[in-house]
Structure formats: C-alpha cells, structure tokens
C-alpha cells in the first residue's frame, strides 16, 4: 500500500508541469489565484511569499506581476525547486528568491510579508494549524493571503476521465494518448496522495473546517469558495 515513503515530490517534480500545460482544472485554478493576487496593492520594496511553491507556477507569476517586490519561493523539495530555478532563469527574473526549506525551518520576522499565498500545500504539512499561525505572524497587519487547499479525498479515476475528455475534445485521440502516457507519473503520485489521505496522514477537511482553521489562526476571511472540481477550498483572508 502506498505510504508517505512511496510518494516522492522529487519524482513528481519531473512531470509536474504537465498539469500547468494540459490540466484545464489546474489552469483554471491558476487563473483564479492570479486574478485575486492581481488585486493586491504592492508597495515598492515589498516582500511576498509562496509557501510550498513547487515548480514555481505561482511564485514566478507573482514575481512577473510585481517587479517592485521580492517574491520568496519556499519549498523543501530540491527537485521542485530545480524546476522553478530553470524557469526563473529562462524568464530572467531577479526579484524571485528560491529557498529550499521545510515549512518548519522558515525564519521570517513578524509582520515582514506584504502578501502571501499557499496553494495545495497545507494538507501535506505535518502541522497545518501551526503553519497557519506562523503565516499570520509573518504577515503585516492589513495584508492579504490567498490560501487554497485540497481538503477532500481525490478520486483519481474520475479526474483522469474528466481530463481525458477535455483533452480528446481539444487535441484529438493521438495527442491525448501521448499526454496521458506522459502524465502517468502524475497519476501515480496522485494515487499515493489519495492513499495517504485515506490513511489520515494528510489533512482532510470540509470547506467549513478549512475556514475555521484559518480564522482560529487569527485571520479575517474576506471571501471563500470551493474550487478544483469541489475537492479544494479557496480562501482570501487578511491579517486584521
Ligand atoms: C501539490 S504541490 C503544490 C505546489 C504548488 N503550490 C502548485 O500548486 O503548483 C505541494 C508542494 O508542497 C511541498 N511540501 C511538502 N511538504 C513540505 C514541507 N514540509 N515543507 C515545505 N514544502 C513542502 C512539496 O515539495 C510540493 O512542492
């Protein structure tokens, strides 16, 4: 049975951006998050952070959107960070800093961030409630956070069918087969994640429970909704 030992973020990293290139639901969520982030008022010299930033799809977009700010891309996996580094190099971004750190190793001063996001990463952390408290601590009062988390157990087959159907309509049979073959590792790692969720190794929650956890850390929620085909929760919050 798959366990946290068989899940490998490093292996996942090699194929992770197939999600960004082809998964319409990942692409939609990316648009939703960046639309929200695009509303931020970011002063010159601001520091923004993406916690559990993966291959940098969000942190790099933030660095592009806000050249006046520095974006901290924080993730513990070297493979994920290497993918982000390659893209950062191609984009020639000088305001994007990659920090290879576990979430419990992050040392940021209180009130030092002018905005933060964490997308589909909180559920993987050993103590999400503690991380939410730390995020609250790091954020300057009045500043926003976009917090998205996968709270429900993923039905991998259902997702494959939904994505396959979309690809068939968009690319036709041959290209769809190629993409699905290329994406096998993504499906395998997602099946491991599902198993860890089922075993209680990853945080699962209802929409209400996610909002409660965010409020318990001290945040004020501006608005919230479910997203990612109902599997995830999307919260826009601020430190009062
Ligand atoms: C599903 S990925 C999400 C990546 C990115 N936010 C996105 O949506 O594309 C989860 C990320 O959390 C990172 N992660 C898992 N446990 C971590 C920890 N304890 N500290 C820091 N990062 C961690 C993984 O390396 C992985 O990159």
Q: What is the pLDDT of residues 80-122, one digit of tens each?
A: 999 999 999 999 999 999 999 999 999 999 999 999 999 999 9
Over residues 207-225, the mean pLDDT reads 98
Distance between CA atoms of residues 207 and 27, nearest Å: 21
For residue 2, pLDDT over 50 is answered with: no
Q: CATH code at 207?
A: 3.40.50.150
| Closest ligand 1 atom number to CA of residue 16 | 9
Over residues 68-77, the mean pLDDT reads 98
For residue 46, pLDDT over 60 is answered with: yes
- Nearest partner of 183 among 166, 208, 201, 164, judged by Cα: 164
Q: What is the pLDDT of residue 154?
A: 85
- 71 assigned to some structural domain: yes
Q: Which residue has the higher pLDDT, 145 or 5?
A: 145
% of the chain with per-residue pLDDT over 70: 98
Distance between CA atoms of residues 200 and 126, nearest Å: 11
Distance between CA atoms of residues 172 and 63, nearest Å: 35
Say yes or no: CB of residue 46 within 6 Å of ligand 1: no
Q: In what order do the strands lie in the sheet with 232-238?
A: 96-100, 70-75, 47-51, 115-119, 144-150, 232-238, 220-227
Say yes or no: CB of residue 76 within 6 Å of ligand 1: yes
- 29 assigned to some structural domain: yes
Which of 5, 7, 9 has most ligand 1 atoms within 8 Å of CB, for mutation?
9
Which of 62, 74, 75, 119 has most ligand 1 atoms within 8 Å of CB, for mutation?
75
pLDDT digits 0-9 by tens, 21-44: 999 999 999 999 999 999 999 999
- 107 assigned to some structural domain: yes
Q: What is the pLDDT of residue 15?
A: 86
> How many domains does the structure of the chain reveal?
1
Nearest CA to ligand 1 atom 9: 54
- 196 assigned to some structural domain: no
For residue 62, pLDDT over 70 is answered with: yes
| Structure token digits, residue 174 | 């041959």
DSSP 189-232: HHHHHHHHHHTT-S----HHHHHHHHHHTT-EEEEEEEETTTTE
Domain around 87? 9-152+202-238
- 169 assigned to some structural domain: no
């Amino acid at each position: 049975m798959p366990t946290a030992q068989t899940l490998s973020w490093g292996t996942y990293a090699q194929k992770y951006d197939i999600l960004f290139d082809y998964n319409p639901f990942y692409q939609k969520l990316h648009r939703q998050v960046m639309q929200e982030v695009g509303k931020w008022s970011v002063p010159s010299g601001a520091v923004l952070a993406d916690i559990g930033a993966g291959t940098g799809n969000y942190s790099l977009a933030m660095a592009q959107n806000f050249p006046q700010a520095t974006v901290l891309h924080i993730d513990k996996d070297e493979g994920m960070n290497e993918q982000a580094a390659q893209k950062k190099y191609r984009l020639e971004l000088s305001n994007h800093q990659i920090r290879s750190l576990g979430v419990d190793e992050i040392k940021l001063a209180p009130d030092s961030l002018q905005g933060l996001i964490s997308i589909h990463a909180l559920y993987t952390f050993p103590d999400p409630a503690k991380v939410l408290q730390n995020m609250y601590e790091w954020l300057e009062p009045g500043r926003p956070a976009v917090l998205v988390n996968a709270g429900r157990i993923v039905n991998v087959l259902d997702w494959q069918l939904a994505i396959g159907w979309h690809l068939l309509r968009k690319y036709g049979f041959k290209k769809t087969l190629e993409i699905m073959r290329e994406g096998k590792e993504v499906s395998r790692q997602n099946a491991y994640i599902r198993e860890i969720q089922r075993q209680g190794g990853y945080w699962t929650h209802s929409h209400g429970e996610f909002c409660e956890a965010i409020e318990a850390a001290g945040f004020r929620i501006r608005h919230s909704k479910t997203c990612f085909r109902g599997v995830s929760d999307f919260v826009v919050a601020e430190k009062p």
